[in-house]
Chains A and B, each alone.
With several copies, the nearest count.
Chain A
Amino acid sequence: MPHQLDIVYFSWVKERLGRAQETVVCPETVHTIGELIGSLKASDALYQDVFSDLKKLRFALDQDFVGLDAPLGNAKELAIFPPVTGG
């Protein structure tokens, strides 16, 4: 069964993509967040633009911070956003 994943965006990532969330079907070759991002970038110039500098992005998988090499596993929700600036 293909892995459906909700992606949520915040801050300027959301604004530049023009959407707050979307659901993607992960290709079978995609196992990590980094690979998913690569696949998104290959599919659309907008992703390529917004995700161009990965050092400026942070990721949370099912609401826990993770790195680019984290396996997607059976996660339901991936969040992509810039470094947090609360407090």
Chain B
Amino acid sequence: MIKILVMEGDFDAGEEIKALAALGGGAVANFVGQVRGGGKLAALELEHYPAMTEKALRKIADKAAEKWTLHGITIIHRVGQLQVGEQIVLAATCSDHRQAAIEACSYIMDQLKTVAPFWKKEIRLDGSENWVEERQSDVDAATSWND
């Protein structure tokens, strides 16, 4: 069961975990990313490529389902303006085995960072704006899976 959501609204990680746990695998891994504060950041503006986003996320999920034996995968990514502390992304997996669940969750996040068409713009407290740049460590993490 693959569930992909791209939306402006917030999500409830607890509900997503419950839905995956109900599939009966016994092992549910979950990652939530939020807007990290500190410095001069006020908010992030999340832009995406609507015609491509779901397709790209589904490809990642399909690949994870090939690599590990999973009962379910949920990927949620928010778009629009998100304040410091707000949730941005959720990746969750359900498997019979904890390592499979955790590894697949890690894989999904690594791929999402490099092949899902989202762009973050920082909006600072003084009103200035800055497009976030790709991090080499994210590229390295994604390629380390040898897809």
Q: Do A and B interact directly, with beta carbons closer than 8 Å?
A: yes
A residues whose Cβ falls under 8 Å from a Cβ of B: 8, 10-12, 60, 63, 65, 77, 79, 81-87
B residues whose Cβ falls under 8 Å from a Cβ of A: 33, 46-49, 51-52, 55-56, 77, 88-89, 98, 109, 112-121, 131-134, 138
Are the C-beta atoms of A84 and B109 separated by less than 8 Å?
Answer: no
The interface residues of chain B, by DSSP majority, are classed as mixed
- Contact partner, A87, options B112, B121, B131, Cβ 8 Å: B112
* 21 A-B residue pairings within 8 Å (CB atoms): A10-B117, A11-B47, A11-B121, A11-B131, A63-B51, A77-B51, A79-B52, A82-B133, A83-B114, A84-B116, A84-B119, A85-B119, A85-B131, A85-B134, A86-B46, A86-B48, A86-B117, A86-B118, A86-B120, A87-B113, A87-B116
Q: With contacts A10-B47, A87-B109 known, is A63 near B55, CB below 8 A?
A: yes
